[in-house]
């Protein structure tokens, strides 16, 4: 028997986050390319992004054939398209003169999987690669929301939006992440929670 799922936030009803979710308003169009193995990851932040950002497109796949529709969609767009992926060719997103009306492609998954996705899909390299300026003061609160692991796709998206649209309010994203982190902490046995908090 599977646990009942909340139809709005897609978390189990016992862990529904709807009360803490607010819609994100941004002109930046986000598209996430997701490795199939990430879809069922409980800690994956993309599901949370979808709950606050109704325009978010998530395309699950590995090979160019999986992304045929996405490629056709991108070819029809007149907006600049950026690939958020740090590399030797990537530019600092804060230093590019860009309008807020851009498309940002994000690769979801571990670094190893993101790298593999890129190797399998050289068509992605046609787009301007950008990296985040994680030390920018505007990113302070976003980084503070983070407690473990490396930058999640949600945090990366929040920072990209902040760079492209400095006046935008990305707190619906970061607050949703904080709510999820709090919920994980509450669900932990207290001895584990103490150990976790002391590592911060
Ligand atoms: Zn819910």
Distance (Å) from CA 159 to ligand 1 centroid: 25
Distance (Å) from CA 21 to ligand 1 centroid: 9
pLDDT tens for each residue of 164-193: 998 999 999 989 888 888 877 777 777 776
Give CA–CA dist 61/96, Å, rounded. 29
Distance (Å) from CA 5 to ligand 1 centroid: 8
Distance (Å) from CA 106 to ligand 1 centroid: 25
Distance set, CA 163 to CA 34, 54, 173 (Å): 23, 21, 15
Q: What confidence score (pLDDT) does residue 148 get?
A: 42
pLDDT tens for each residue of 140-160: 556 555 544 457 889 899 999
Nearest residue to 46 (alpha-carbon basis) of 163, 186, 188, 156: 156
Distance (Å) from CA 173 to ligand 1 centroid: 15
130's CB contacts (< 8 A; 6+ apart) are: 82, 83, 84, 85, 90, 91, 92, 93, 96, 160
Distance (Å) from CA 33 to ligand 1 centroid: 24
pLDDT tens for each residue of 75-94: 999 999 999 998 888 999 98
Global pTM reads 0.85
């Amino acid at each position: 028997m599977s646990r009942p799922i909340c139809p709005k936030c897609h978390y189990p009803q016992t862990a529904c986050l709807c009360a803490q979710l607010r819609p994100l308003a941004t002109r930046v169009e986000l598209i996430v390319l997701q490795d199939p193995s990430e879809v069922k990851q409980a800690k994956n932040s993309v599901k949370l992004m979808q709950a606050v950002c109704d325009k978010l497109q998530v395309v699950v796949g590995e090979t160019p054939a999986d992304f045929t529709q996405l490629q056709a969609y991108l070819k029809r767009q007149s907006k600049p398209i950026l690939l958020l992926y740090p590399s030797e060719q990537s530019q600092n997103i804060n230093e590019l003169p860009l309008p807020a009306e851009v498309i940002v492609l994000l690769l979801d998954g571990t670094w190893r999987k993101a790298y593999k996705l890129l190797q399998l899909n050289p068509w992605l390299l046609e787009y301007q690669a950008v990296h985040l300026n994680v030390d920018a003061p505007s990113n302070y609160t976003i980084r503070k929301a983070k407690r473990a692991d490396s930058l999640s796709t949600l945090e990366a998206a929040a920072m990209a939006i902040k760079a492209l649209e400095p006046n935008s309010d990305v707190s619906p994203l970061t607050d949703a992440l904080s709510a999820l982190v709090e919920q994980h902490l509450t669900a932990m046995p207290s001895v584990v929670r103490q150990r976790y908090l002391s590592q911060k």
